[in-house]
């Protein structure tokens, strides 16, 4: 996986987002803001009967993503396109997808983030706010299509409010650093026009207090042995 030597580099969030992708064989999946393709290619490796498209506005990151697609021999199932989330899905001229993935920028208020390095600003700051990202994702999938988003836990209420008018059947998995600490991340899965009751799933705990770096469940996910499932 080629990444820039400086600036934003993919990490655990991308790995968890990929593990949360549950596309069915033959389905088409889009990732909004795919960067160099870490989550996108990992999801494609996990779901080998699905087709994937990554949208990225940064030309250098998109070029690295295309190189990563070639290096991993995934060109028959993974495509990288340039474009702005803020311009809306319609501007891409694509047919609706079956599923969408995204790790939106965590901040949309410059005052909330203290001086990010210029190379990281695009990945950390959402120019159009979280509303632009949720709006894009909702437009990108067909009726009954799924949306899977990883974000800060303190933005959960905003995510539910922004998605709730056109999506439902929410399943939420908190991500806790340790079993005895609050969640720092949430992964939210919704269905466009879904009507099932919201389900709050057991938290995924990343680290034990002693012993190995990751809990056995997370280690299995990172090694590709398990998915991050959506069953209760």
List the CATH number of the domain containing 53.
3.40.50.150
Q: Is residue 229 in some structural domain?
A: no
Q: Is residue 110 in some structural domain?
A: yes
pLDDT, position 19: 97
- What proportion of the chain, given as a percentage, has pLDDT over 70? 90
Q: Is residue 3 in some structural domain?
A: no
* Cβ–Cβ < 8 Å for 120, 8: yes
Q: Is residue 79 in some structural domain?
A: yes
DSSP letter (8 states) at residue 58: -
Question: pLDDT tens digits for 84-122?
Answer: 999 999 999 999 999 999 999 975 655 554 444 554 444
Q: Is residue 6 in some structural domain?
A: no
Q: Is residue 231 in some structural domain?
A: no
pLDDT band at 6 (very low <50, low <70, confident <90, very high): confident
pLDDT, position 232: 67
What mean pLDDT value characterizes the chain? Answer: 91
pLDDT, position 5: 80
* Cβ–Cβ < 8 Å for 55, 47: no
Kindly tell me the sign of the dihedral angle through the C-alpha atoms of 229, 12, 130, 175: positive
Q: Domain of 72?
A: 12-222
Q: Where are the beta strands (DSSP E) in 76-225?
A: 78-82, 97-102, 141-152, 167-176, 185-192, 199-200, 204-205
CA distance 105 to 36: 15
Give the total number of structural domains in the chain: 1
Q: Is residue 41 in some structural domain?
A: yes
Go through 35-52 and write b for each residue having 16 or more CB atoms within 10 A of its CB, e for each that does not: bbbbbbbbbbebbeebbb
- Give the H or E element holding residue 29: strand 28-32
Q: Is residue 51 in some structural domain?
A: yes
State the pTM of this model. Answer: 0.89
CA distances from 33 to 55, 89, 132, 174, 205 (A): 5, 12, 12, 22, 26
């Amino acid at each position: 996986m080629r990444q820039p030597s400086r600036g934003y580099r993919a990490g655990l969030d991308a790995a968890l987002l990929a593990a949360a992708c549950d596309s069915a064989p033959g389905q088409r999946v889009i990732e909004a803001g795919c960067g160099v393709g870490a989550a996108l290619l990992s999801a494609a490796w996990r779901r080998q009967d699905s087709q994937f498209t990554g949208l990225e506005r940064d030309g250098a990151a998109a070029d690295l993503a295309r190189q990563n697609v070639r290096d991993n021999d995934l060109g028959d199932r993974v495509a990288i396109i340039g474009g702005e989330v803020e311009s809306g899905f319609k501007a891409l001229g694509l047919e609706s997808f079956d599923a969408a993935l995204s790790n939106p920028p965590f901040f949309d208020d410059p005052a909330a983030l203290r001086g990010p390095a210029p190379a990281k600003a695009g990945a950390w700051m959402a120019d159009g706010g979280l509303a632009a990202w949720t709006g894009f994702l909702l437009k990108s999938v067909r009726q009954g299509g799924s949306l899977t988003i990883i974000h800060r836990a303190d933005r959960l209420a905003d995510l539910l409010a922004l998605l709730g008018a056109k999506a439902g059947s929410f399943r939420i998995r908190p991500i806790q650093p340790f079993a005895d600490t609050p969640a720092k991340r949430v992964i939210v899965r919704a269905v466009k026009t879904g009507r099932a009751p919201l389900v709050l799933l057991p938290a995924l705990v990343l680290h034990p207090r002693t012993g190995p770096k990751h809990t056995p469940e997370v280690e299995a996910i990172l090694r590709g042995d398990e998915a991050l499932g959506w069953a209760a």
